[in-house]
């Protein structure tokens, strides 16, 4: 369209620009190296090095036909690595390959722009793999660098002042931030994707599953990874630690070794009686690749994307593949006295591994107790008094875990106690089942929320006591009552040694470290609540709580547009530059002179030239005509000619002062 375009477009990139562009490209692709195939990453790095060396050594261009070979190699690598899988990885690999080929052609300003745009698109693909805070920081830093390079390319001065570039882009970014935030909050979110995709298939995460076997929970307990976080609506009314049972899969079926939750649970309704106050809270679950949502015992109100089973376990309809926040209400005190005969039958089913030793043991205790409650108490007492040890690393149980644990090793973790307790109950004719979940949780004062870690994984029992309904019994408390009051410290355990519980941190450093850890955790939760997990529901929640819930559908879109426009205008006004009053010194003097003339009654219109004014003034102030003419003559020379001597300027100054 215009030659001024062309001149810029074909301007050659200089060496520092070349190197910064290559560094930028490398940094932009870097996080992808960790999940893309090694071949693609190597290809990219090789091309980058090739380009670097050909430029450094020969300063020349490689032959054109080599580009063709590189193109072919790149395509072959992408196709062979991701054959049959046209997905995210394929697309990103193709992008990386395309970028590396573009590097080979990088010569001019225009090439740099095309390259930067491609890289800009690659930056956003990082978020498909991880949405952690550090990657966001990394990507935004690179986006800043991208703008920096844009500005650099547009700078004419050979020696660009880097701090000036930095501040210019910094100012621009500062202006953009509020606009970005407004768009982010108000931009309407869709419910589903525009087209189908399988997000993060085959994710390997640790967490409680529907299967419990000896060692499965103690294995989890060695991990301090966060399972979920809980934010209570009323922070003054939080259930005590011993009431914080986070209910996961409820398991009735067993062969005596493995305990398995129902594969296809039936959707049920909640039909228990609440006894105490309701607790409402939000659970922010980490990706688990499972369905379980660990509601506080017992859940009463659940979000729409979940359902509840007949044994009151909450399940998400889809597997939890990314961090998600759920709103729930629970009653920590309840009377769950409804059940079905099928449920009771299932809860009485005995596996084949029940030994005579176990039956004899139950008979002995049963004879000495009048009621079921008394029987339960005597089993608990047995655990407490008969040298049972609570340990994360119990000795291996070979053929009959329950029998060997109860009578030989007597060392176990919560799943050993819970499962063997349930078996003993069933032998005695009391319907019983195992509940897996988490217990307790650590209070984060920095974020006012509870952190539940994998090390808080727990298993307990529920027994049917007729009128009292399903009652929670935690046999672990019989051996280690601290377990329900304090969390296990996963960093402090030795093989076979009794579990160490967390007590408050000691010393200044310890407390400071603990504080820092709490802050980081709070930041992480808020990051999720307000950024990564800002879904349609969170958006609605935000709008409701700010009284803006009348903005629905298209109105929300319009408000996003209007508000962001207002933000842009505000930013433009706030950041507009100042105009300094460094007029031409001659002009300053002349303006002063004109003001004096106006005082004397000479009418000067704005826009009148100095000659017009001088002629006009000369007619009115006839006796000062000479000095007026002299002043205007020197002024015209100073303003319209190239320069006046300092002496002449002094004369002008004096003449105007004396006037």
Partner 1 sequence: MPVNRYWNMSLFPNSSPGDSNPGFLAAIRSRNFQQLFRSAEPDKEGHMLIGAKKIYILPTRFGLMFAALVLAMLVGSINYANNLGYLLTFFLASIGILAIYQTWYNLLNLEITFLPVKPVHAGQAFQLEAKMTNRLDRPRGAIQLYSESGKAVTSHDIRADSITNFRVTFITSARGWYSVNDLVLSTQYPLGLFRAWVYLKTDIKVLVYAKPALQWDVPRTAIYALSAQGSKGIGSDDFVSHRNYRHTDSPKQIDWKIFAREKGLMTKQFGGDRNEQLWLSLDLLPDEPLETTLSMLTRAVIDAANEGVEYGLRLPNQEIPLGQGIQHQTDCLRALALFGIKAGDE
Residues in 563-602 that interact with partner 1 by CB under 8 A? 564, 568, 571-573, 576-584, 590-591, 594-595, 598
Least distance (Å) between residue 535 CB and partner 1:
7
Map the footprint of partner 1 across residues 628-647, applying CB under 8 A: 639-642, 645
187 binds partner 1 (CB under 8 A): yes
3-state SS, residue 325: strand
194 binds partner 1 (CB under 8 A): yes
Residue in this structure with the two tokens 């800009």, named with its chain if needed: 120
Least distance (Å) between residue 287 CB and partner 1:
14
Give the residue, chosen from 604, 630, 651, 655, that forms a contact with partner 1 under the rule CB under 8 A. Answer: 604
Contact between 241 and 484 (Cβ < 8 Å): yes
Contact between 121 and 110 (Cβ < 8 Å): no
Cis preceding linkage at 298, omega within 30: yes
303 binds partner 1 (CB under 8 A): no
Residue range at the interface with partner 1 (CB under 8 A); choices 173-181, 285-293, 401-409, 622-630: 173-181
HSE (side-chain half, CA atoms, 13 Å) at 401:
24
Residue in this structure with the two tokens 């000062």, named with its chain if needed: 624
Least distance (Å) between residue 616 CB and partner 1:
13
* Residue (208 or 571) nearer to partner 1, CB: 571
Least distance (Å) between residue 572 CB and partner 1:
5
* Residue (195 or 554) nearer to partner 1, CB: 195
* Residue (50 or 138) nearer to partner 1, CB: 138
Least distance (Å) between residue 172 CB and partner 1:
6
Contact between 31 and 138 (Cβ < 8 Å): yes
Map the footprint of partner 1 across residues 212-231, applying CB under 8 A: none
Least distance (Å) between residue 384 CB and partner 1:
50
8 binds partner 1 (CB under 8 A): yes
Map the footprint of partner 1 across residues 122-151, applying CB under 8 A: 123-125, 127-128, 131, 135-136, 139-140, 143, 147, 150-151
Map the footprint of partner 1 across residues 356-415, applying CB under 8 A: none
Q: What's the Cα-to-Cα distance from 357 to each of 280, 287, 361, 375, rounded to whole Å?
A: 46, 43, 6, 17
163 binds partner 1 (CB under 8 A): no
304 binds partner 1 (CB under 8 A): no
Least distance (Å) between residue 592 CB and partner 1:
8
Contact between 457 and 282 (Cβ < 8 Å): no
**Structural Rg of the chain based on CA atoms:** 38
Contact between 273 and 320 (Cβ < 8 Å): no
Q: What's the Cα-to-Cα distance from 197 to each of 193, 201, 373, 534, rounded to whole Å?
A: 8, 10, 53, 20
175 binds partner 1 (CB under 8 A): yes
Least distance (Å) between residue 6 CB and partner 1:
9
With residue 152 as reference, give the H or E element that holds it: helix 133-154
In 379-489, which ranges are E strands?
Answer: 389-390, 411-412, 432-439, 442-444, 449-453, 457-464, 470-473
* Residue (85 or 503) nearer to partner 1, CB: 85
Tokens for 566, please give them.
């207002």
264 binds partner 1 (CB under 8 A): no
Contact between 323 and 287 (Cβ < 8 Å): yes
Map the footprint of partner 1 across residues 508-547, applying CB under 8 A: 531-535
Residue range at the interface with partner 1 (CB under 8 A); choices 174-182, 232-240, 254-262, 293-301: 174-182
Give the residue, chosen from 71, 183, 446, 655, that forms a contact with partner 1 under the rule CB under 8 A. Answer: 183
113 binds partner 1 (CB under 8 A): yes
Map the footprint of partner 1 across residues 608-627, applying CB under 8 A: 608-610, 612
157 binds partner 1 (CB under 8 A): yes
Instruction: Please state, in angstroms and rounded to a whole number, the distance separating the CA atoms of residues 329 and 525.
Output: 20
Q: Cα 639 to the chain's mean position, in Å?
A: 61
562 binds partner 1 (CB under 8 A): no
* Residue (486 or 637) nearer to partner 1, CB: 637
Contact between 104 and 70 (Cβ < 8 Å): yes
117 binds partner 1 (CB under 8 A): yes
DSSP assignments along 257-315, one per residue? S-EE--SSPPB-----EE-S--EEEEEEEPP-SS-EE-EESSEEE--TTEEEBTT--EE
* Residue (144 or 443) nearer to partner 1, CB: 144
Q: Which residues make Cβ contacts (< 8 Å) with residue 620, sequence separation at least 6?
A: 600, 601, 602
190 binds partner 1 (CB under 8 A): yes
Contact between 533 and 326 (Cβ < 8 Å): no
* Residue (52 or 183) nearer to partner 1, CB: 183
5 binds partner 1 (CB under 8 A): yes
Least distance (Å) between residue 437 CB and partner 1:
29
Q: Which residues make Cβ contacts (< 8 Å) with residue 527, sequence separation at least 6?
A: 133
């Amino acid at each position: 369209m215009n030659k001024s375009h062309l001149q810029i477009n074909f301007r050659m990139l200089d060496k520092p620009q070349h190197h910064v562009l290559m560094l930028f490209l490398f940094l932009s692709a870097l996080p992808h190296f960790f999940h893309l195939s090694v071949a693609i990453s190597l290809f990219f790095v090789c091309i980058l090095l090739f380009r670097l060396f050909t430029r450094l050594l020969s300063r020349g261009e490689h032959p054109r036909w080599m580009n063709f070979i590189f193109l072919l190699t790149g395509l072959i690598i992408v196709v062979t690595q991701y054959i049959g899988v046209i997905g995210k990885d394929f697309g990103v690999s193709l992008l990386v390959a395309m970028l590396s080929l573009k590097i080979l052609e990088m010569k001019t300003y225009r090439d740099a722009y095309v390259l930067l745009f491609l890289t800009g698109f690659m930056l956003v693909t990082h978020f498909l793999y991880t949405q952690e805070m550090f990657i966001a920081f990394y990507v935004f830093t690179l986006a800043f660098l991208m703008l920096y390079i844009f500005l650099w390319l547009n700078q004419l001065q050979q020696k660009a002042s880097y701090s000036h570039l930095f501040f210019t882009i910094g100012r621009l970014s500062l202006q953009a931030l509020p606009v970005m935030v407004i768009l982010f909050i108000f931009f309407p979110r869709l419910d589903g994707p525009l087209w189908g995709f399988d997000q993060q298939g085959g994710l390997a995460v640790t967490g409680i599953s529907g299967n419990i076997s000896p060692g499965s929970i103690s294995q989890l307990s060695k991990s301090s990874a966060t399972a979920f976080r809980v934010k209570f609506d009323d922070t003054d009314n939080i259930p005590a630690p011993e009431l914080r049972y986070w209910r996961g899969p409820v398991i009735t079926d067993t062969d005596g070794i493995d305990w398995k939750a129902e594969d296809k649970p039936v959707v049920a309704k909640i039909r228990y009686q609440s006894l105490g106050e309701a607790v409402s809270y939000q659970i922010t679950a980490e990706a688990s690749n499972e369905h379980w949502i660990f509601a506080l015992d017992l859940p009463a109100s659940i979000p729409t994307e979940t359902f509840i089973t007949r044994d009151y376990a909450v399940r998400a309809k889809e597997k939890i593949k990314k961090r998600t926040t759920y709103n729930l209400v629970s009653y920590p005190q309840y009377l769950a006295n409804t059940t079905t005969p099928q449920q009771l039958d299932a809860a009485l089913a005995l596996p084949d591994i029940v030994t005579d030793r176990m039956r004899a043991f139950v008979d002995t205790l049963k004879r000495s107790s009048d009621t079921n409650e008394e029987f339960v108490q005597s089993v608990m007492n047995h655990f407490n008094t008969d040298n049972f040890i609570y340990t994360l690393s119990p000795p291996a149980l070979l053929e009959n875990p329950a029998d060997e644990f109860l009578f030989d090793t007597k060392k176990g973790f919560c799943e050993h106690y819970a499962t063997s307790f349930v078996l003993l109950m069933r032998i005695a004719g009391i319907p019983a089942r195992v509940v897996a979940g988490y217990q307790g949780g650590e209070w984060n004062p920095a974020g006012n929320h509870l952190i539940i870690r994998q090390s808080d994984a727990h298993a307990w029992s529920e027994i049917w006591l007729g009128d009292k309904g399903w009652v929670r019994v935690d046999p672990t408390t019989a051996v280690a009552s601290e377990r329900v009051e304090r969390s296990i410290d996963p960093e402090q355990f030795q093989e076979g040694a009794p579990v160490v519980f967390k007590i408050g941190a000691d010393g200044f450093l310890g407390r400071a470290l603990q504080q820092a850890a709490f802050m980081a955790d709070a930041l992480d939760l808020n990051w999720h609540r307000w950024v990564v997990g800002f879904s349609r529901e969170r958006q609605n929640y935000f709008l409701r709580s700010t009284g803006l819930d009348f903005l629905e559908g298209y109105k929300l879109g319009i408000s996003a547009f209007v508000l962001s426009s207002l933000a842009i205008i505000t930013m433009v006004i706030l950041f507009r530059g100042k105009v300094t009053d460094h007029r031409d010194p001659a002009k300053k003097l002349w303006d002063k002179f004109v003001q004096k003339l106006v005082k004397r009654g000479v009418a000067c219109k704005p826009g009148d030239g100095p000659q017009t004014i001088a002629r006009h003034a000369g007619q009115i102030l006839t006796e000062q005509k000479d000095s007026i003419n002299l002043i205007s003559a020197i002024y015209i020379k100073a303003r319209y000619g190239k320069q006046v001597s300092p002496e002449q300027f002094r004369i002008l100054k004096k003449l105007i002062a004396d006037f």
